[in-house]
Structure 1
């Protein structure tokens, strides 16, 4: 159960129809009460953060390098690591500040409501975050189905099963796991997820190096793909992909799982997370692009198969795909949490027990519907990667690169002569330009690829 800094026992929303900030004990917010209960440690926070950021989407980083080249690629992933760590630290500082004032924010929309005004929380930040997180659930379901298909093709290269069938299988697994009652209840799953992401990233790096040095190594060309306008737009698409890879969008919800007092705990969690981020992101991006050059595909794992034949030992590939599959199931559960908050808030009764029949039945029904819809969309739209690039530009950049800077400047009002004010303003301004151009570039790419789109395609 969420808590304020002064009490550490109960958390109450100021207005259950508008905000989750605490004040009135007569109006309990079931979403905050059940899903975002505050019982975790800073280490649990580190597990949640790692699962939210270090996801199989990072396997697309070598592809981003094909649009940026060596220098541009290394520069962008380094800059994104520095900016996001700084950004998430600022969000944590703002959250701690309000907790000390007795108004602990549990959701992104709560922050926007209190700092920028009710309209920002209700009409912009809330819907944007929910759309991004649910889009991530759809994308993870697609990735899970692809991982299952990879395992199938390793054992049966000429198998007849299609992608949508594997997506449905993965959706069935998510359907069961989605009934975990709270974000805090995922802590052990996310600890396993941390080790799994290290496993598949180590396997991916080792596999790329092995193929790169083998006698059947593919010819490598590091020329940036595209010419003229295509190359220019490609740069912004790559930046959107990198932003999506580093994106989180649920920092307040993760910090909400920490037991009070919260001071300093989120920063420790970020240190745990970014030690894994640096290890995995750079190793996969550099080794994958080194091995395959501008032939790197949307997921570097696709490069490990050539003409239906594995370039690595089958057992090694199965371990890689299986660890990816299991970890992406944990990522799916993490990004379901904002949806679960909305579901619990609308259909749960905070005056009844969390595991009582009155709350278990609606939870089972509506969470299942949420997963079924996401699975159906993933099976119908296997080209969802193009759409996620648009989401990255339109959603991840505002939530992770722009709003934290604004929240900090508005909350603490640093001097306009100070470095931190102008640094935050510069990051927000540059990110706004990148988001705008990236969104245009992503829409353009969707239009160009539209002729290859087909519902339930076996990609």
Structure 2
């Protein structure tokens, strides 16, 4: 039975690879025809977003800074603590490689028979039919909404931590006030930067914030790790808790590596969209993964099984470092949140499948 499952997986991978390769060939042929005819060769669905405008470098940086948010960089508690060193590192590497390969194949399905699929639901509907179109629409929308709720909570928590450093009151303001302030800032940013392509002027600032956050965080993690002489790397809990914790860790690693928005992100790329998307993915799964994997491993090394679900809240050090880390976490969350929320407008930019 195991051999049959392996054989089926290999067959599916080969079919997907052949479809991706044929899609890439079709795209190259279409691009050649476009050069000769001087007009577009793809059939593309109507959308309010900008199509064919961004370079692969811009999209690659967008993927790197979009995934390197404070939530993902605090996943030591979710990814490493439930698995321990051995299984944790193995799952990080295996799931990361599998996610890259899956997205590499999916990027090749962006153009099929001259039709360009700029939405995940359109591709699923084309391949599996109308029912899967609606299922994909529902699941993707719910996932994005829940993810953005998490970003708002992250921003509110960072603002509250900053306020606590400057407040002398024993009863600091409630978290709800900071959540409301975060929501207002997110709304204002989304209003003035309506599309993902319009973020090109903000990527350099976002990258600088990411570097500042990562450097400050890793310096304090190394300091705390050296001073912490009683680290516990054991996986605690009952057998059932360990099993559920392991599944949760695998899910968290998947969240770190893929967004479920690849066709939407790929739609902004200039032609050739397949090869350009694969270049951007390579940047994400090398430079990007090295950062958020490195921070997660460092956090687990520093605190062991006692690592917090929000690393900035566990760090020692001066007040200015706490303020700096939480401020960069909040500002970077604006960009990361916008990367995900901007694509929800794809759900209303065209009518549903008839």
Question: TM-score scaled to structure 2, two decimals?
Answer: 0.82
Equivalent residue for 1:315? 320
Counterpart of 2:271 in 1: which secondary structure?
Answer: coil
1:49 aligns with 2:54: no
Distance 1:10 1:343 in 2: 24
Taking a change above 3 Å as real, the CA distance of residues 238 and 277 of structure 1, as seen in their structure-2 partners, is same
Match of 1:207 among 204, 220, 224: 220
Alpha-carbon deviation of 1:10? 6.3
Match of 2:198 among 180, 185, 188: 185
Alpha-carbon deviation of 1:232? 1.7
Distance 1:58 1:332 in 2: 12
Taking a change above 3 Å as real, the CA distance of residues 9 and 41 of structure 1, as seen in their structure-2 partners, is farther
Please show how residues 359-370 of structure 1 align to structure 2 within 5 Å. Answer: none
Distance 2:65 2:261 in 1: 12
Distance 2:42 2:194 in 1: 19
Does structure 1 retain, via aligned residues, the 8 Å contact 2:59–2:280? yes
Equivalent pairs counted in the alignment come to 316
Mean Cα displacement is larger for which, 132-141 or 182-191? 182-191
Match of 2:90 among 67, 75, 81: 75
Distance 1:49 1:315 in 2: 29
Counterpart of 2:195 in 1: which secondary structure?
Answer: coil
Distance 2:350 2:171 in 1: 45
Please show how residues 121-160 of structure 1 align to structure 2 within 5 Å. Answer: 121=133, 123-156=134-167, 158=170, 160=172
Alpha-carbon deviation of 1:211? 1.4
Match of 1:167 among 174, 179, 204: 179
Equivalent residue for 2:346? 341
Distance 1:55 1:11 in 2: 37
Does structure 2 retain, via aligned residues, the 8 Å contact 1:37–1:182? no
Measured on the aligned residues, the alpha-carbon RMSD in Å equals 2.3
Taking a change above 3 Å as real, the CA distance of residues 59 and 76 of structure 1, as seen in their structure-2 partners, is same
Alpha-carbon deviation of 1:12? 8.8
Alpha-carbon deviation of 1:44? 1.4
1:242 aligns with 2:253: yes
Distance 2:81 2:265 in 1: 33
1:110 aligns with 2:122: yes
Mean Cα displacement is larger for which, 141-150 or 177-186? 177-186
Distance 2:135 2:50 in 1: 21
1:90 aligns with 2:102: no
Please show how residues 286-305 of structure 1 align to structure 2 within 5 Å. Answer: 286-304=297-315
- Relative contact order, higher structure (CA 8 A, sep 6+): 2
Alpha-carbon deviation of 1:36? 4.0
1:280 aligns with 2:291: yes
Counterpart of 2:220 in 1: which secondary structure?
Answer: helix
Alpha-carbon deviation of 1:252? 0.5
Does structure 2 retain, via aligned residues, the 8 Å contact 1:51–1:334? no
Distance 2:121 2:41 in 1: 16
Counterpart of 2:314 in 1: which secondary structure?
Answer: helix
CA offsets 1:206-257 (integer angstroms, 9 cap, x no match) = 111111223xx37311111212211122111111222222231111111100
Distance 1:60 1:225 in 2: 19
Counterpart of 2:116 in 1: which secondary structure?
Answer: coil
Taking a change above 3 Å as real, the CA distance of residues 225 and 144 of structure 1, as seen in their structure-2 partners, is same
In structure 1, runs of 5+ residues without a counterpart are: 14-20, 23-28, 305-310, 347-459
Does structure 2 retain, via aligned residues, the 8 Å contact 1:205–1:287? yes
Counterpart of 1:37 in 2: which secondary structure?
Answer: coil
In structure 2, runs of 5+ residues without a counterpart are: 1-26
